[in-house]
Structure 1
């Protein structure tokens, strides 16, 4: 048994090392799985074909529409020029002197509006770079500023977020994307406020030291210009007006809200009891369906508003479909790895140890999800791994303790957005590459706003909810 636990730890270390070295998760996860299996003494081939692949396929079958629609929506928002127009409108309202706040708000609007996190990163960098240049803010703060807007409060805290990290808990706890609204709003405000304060403090501190946008220590170019790659992804069209670009984002929220709280509860779902639907319930699927319909409605609106540019729109749809492949299969590969680890006998010892702490449902959920998200470097992958292994037990524990499932949903989602941005995280590596900067230059600030602050906020909220209950 001890050898099996060593195998789990070794496989996790290998996964982190390979990811940090730039090895794609599609390769790293199966290799790490082999290590765990070898130490456990289980058969390698059977573990791969009967455990790893089914778990990977289940994730793809469940979440492919969200990744597909999200990627297409993001590309269409870019090729129509709407994303850039939103950024410039927000900047004009906030003011170029508030470049940090303008970048955060714009990134957050796009993320909360349903655009893929990675698409937002590519769209925002050229705009943030210009804002920081005009305001003469050290360039090293750009990654942390963008990350605060896309990897934190809009991804997991704000109720109704269409990002997959906010939908996954509903599949296990029977909740919708607006679950735990009060907790999410308070948590989101704290993460945004504390993150902004930190970045403004860092700007002042760096400027006092004599650092500026063009300081040598702020600039890094490796392997070609990431800025050039971001700007030349697509050919943009002119949006009709300053207000029109916001309509697709509002559509995602409005349709999601209406379906979750008004439309779905009023419909008859008795047909789901038929055998052909596999025993699915509306509580398990409502969050996913609402987001899918919201993004689909926004895509249709984009098509209607730009009907005269149908050729460009179609090319954008094709490009978006292609871009959805790598993110979903990378995450699914991590889920497959988690399934293999969960299948070895030593994992039962680890699982029982987590539950043996006796910390209660909320703390157990936060601990298990936080650790797996940190080890895999993925919020969605880590959360899925933890909930696949412990979800039913956590739900039963919460019901026994009288803990609100909505609170479980919100705090579980928020904790996934903490340790997931450790240095080996694929999202962190990608963002730094896009911005043309290194971990040494920018990770300190990125780590504070996306890891330290969210973790502290979650700990505070779990403590508060444990005392006063859900709010």
Structure 2
């Protein structure tokens, strides 16, 4: 019983500290410590002893840092280049040029849609959702400035465009759509007919929700609030042409698609190309580019360590007996195997704060069980993928913390409402719709 209290209490504590603005580098280890104490996990390696096979038994300190360090070593270079690319797009004037073109030719009402669309294109093109926010931030700030929209909705626009109707849809090259393949023997296009319907429904509902939230804020008198760190260009400033300014984003997507055989390392080639193109396009602003590189490097360190802190918590949480009991309980749910699989992945993704983590932990255990009950592999693939993108984006999620605080410089209090509406509510409803459609057809 104490293990359950510790696991649920630690998760609640982590969410509370995150929302209250306590640094995640403090909140993550504190919450993981609570899990370790209540689960009876040794705190330090000398206290852990050995396993039956002679290997070291798990302990709090080693397990937390293993999760932290694994993510850091896997993604630091991508975070670094992604952050620099975003800063250079802003400092070069390329982001401002594209934003000014969109708002002048199409009207300011398209600023929100353009931000979401940019994220959606990059995400469905395969660029990691963590990197997309960095890449589009300069453009988003310029768009919101031109349209005089409250910048606290930028994280919501990023999250909606990245981690909902694109990340988990059929054909998406994101890892959240690829993990089920190895356990279910499916392809990335599994359940594509239902996926199209669900993706369109999620896109429409999510856009209506966030657009209404932005409209209410504007009617209440909110507008864009400039910051000292923003790249500013006067109305009559000479900017690169819009056609040239969009080339860096096109270059990132194009090079990534060409070099996909390199896996996640293709991001380095793509982002490096984008940085070179952005520097070339904004050569007239070359005096500001060195500062952009420095800001990008600093931002990358803050962003990735924030994410690592949450990954470390998830690693320790998995060691709690309550975690295994929760997984066993959802497997025992009566009814359709698809419902059981959706609940299992949703619960685990919520506990770990990770869609991919929820799938990787749950699928090896639940896939054989539900397939033996007659579940269709393609249907399970699609339901699991969509479900994993719902409760994973609670306030402690690494992507949410990074995007709101490190990339956009907002607080959970001001920005998380839009994120929750578009990345928790919308995917939950999308999962229900997928279950209904698979049941009926």
Superposition TM-score tier, normalisation by shorter sequence: 0.7 to 0.9
In the TM superposition, 1:337-348 aligns within 5 A as 337-348=313-324
Q: Which of the residues 153, 156, 162 maps onto 1:154?
A: 162
Give the match for residue 53 of structure 2.
Answer: none
CA distance in 2, matches of 1:18, 1:298: 37
CA distance in 1, matches of 2:328, 2:168: 33
Deviation at 1:168, TM superposition (A): 5.5
Give the match for residue 386 of structure 1.
Answer: 358
CA distance in 1, matches of 2:42, 2:65: 15
CA distance in 1, matches of 2:273, 2:134: 21
CA distance in 2, matches of 1:406, 1:374: 22
CA contact (8 A) 2:202 2:430 kept: yes
CA contact (8 A) 2:178 2:188 kept: no
Give the match for residue 222 of structure 1.
Answer: none
Deviation at 1:188, TM superposition (A): 4.2
1:90 aligns with 2:62: no
Which digits, 9 at most, give the CA deviation of each residue in 1:319-353, with x for residues without a partner?
32221112222222212111112113332212212
1:298 aligns with 2:274: yes
Q: Which moved more, 1:292-301 or 1:63-72?
A: 292-301
CA distance in 1, matches of 2:166, 2:402: 20
CA contact (8 A) 1:166 1:177 kept: no
Q: Which of the residues 303, 327, 349 maps onto 1:327?
A: 303
In the TM superposition, 1:128-143 aligns within 5 A as 128-132=144-148, 143=152
CA spacing shift, 1:294–1:399, aligned 2, 3 Å:
farther
Give the match for residue 426 of structure 1.
Answer: 401
CA distance in 1, matches of 2:138, 2:219: 20
Give the match for residue 249 of structure 1.
Answer: 249
CA contact (8 A) 1:248 1:301 kept: yes
CA distance in 1, matches of 2:379, 2:88: 33
Q: Which of the residues 398, 422, 427 maps onto 1:454?
A: 427
Give the match for residue 167 of structure 1.
Answer: 175
CA distance in 1, matches of 2:7, 2:384: 23
CA distance in 2, matches of 1:310, 1:399: 58
Give the match for residue 53 of structure 1.
Answer: 65
Q: Which moved more, 1:249-258 or 1:301-310?
A: 301-310
Which digits, 9 at most, give the CA deviation of each residue in 1:297-339, with x for residues without a partner?
3233334445676664444333322211122222222121111
Deviation at 1:99, TM superposition (A): 5.2
CA distance in 2, matches of 1:234, 1:412: 46
CA contact (8 A) 1:354 1:368 kept: yes
Calculate the TM-score normalised by the size of structure 1: 0.71
CA distance in 2, matches of 1:416, 1:443: 19
Give the match for residue 273 of structure 1.
Answer: none
Which digits, 9 at most, give the CA deviation of each residue in 1:204-252, with x for residues without a partner?
7x5xxxx86463xx48xxxxx96314525999x9653111121122222
Count of residue pairs the alignment pairs up? 413
CA contact (8 A) 2:17 2:27 kept: yes
In the TM superposition, 1:236-385 aligns within 5 A as 239-260=239-260, 264=261, 287-306=263-282, 312-357=288-333, 363=339, 366-374=342-350, 381-385=353-357
Deviation at 1:41, TM superposition (A): 1.7
In the TM superposition, 1:92-107 aligns within 5 A as 92-98=104-110, 100-102=112-114, 104-105=116-117
Deviation at 1:465, TM superposition (A): 4.8
Which digits, 9 at most, give the CA deviation of each residue in 1:100-151, with x for residues without a partner?
5455446656777855426745753464254147xxxxx5xx644x345310
CA distance in 2, matches of 1:449, 1:90: 24
Which digits, 9 at most, give the CA deviation of each residue in 1:344-384, with x for residues without a partner?
333221221222236777655543443455456xxxx5224
CA distance in 2, matches of 1:131, 1:308: 25
CA distance in 1, matches of 2:7, 2:167: 35
Q: Which moved more, 1:175-184 or 1:417-426?
A: 175-184
CA distance in 2, matches of 1:394, 1:73: 40
Give the match for residue 197 of structure 1.
Answer: 208
CA distance in 2, matches of 1:434, 1:106: 20
CA distance in 2, matches of 1:370, 1:179: 21
Calculate the TM-score normalised by the size of structure 2: 0.75
Deviation at 1:171, TM superposition (A): 6.0
CA contact (8 A) 2:168 2:386 kept: no
CA distance in 2, matches of 1:303, 1:132: 27
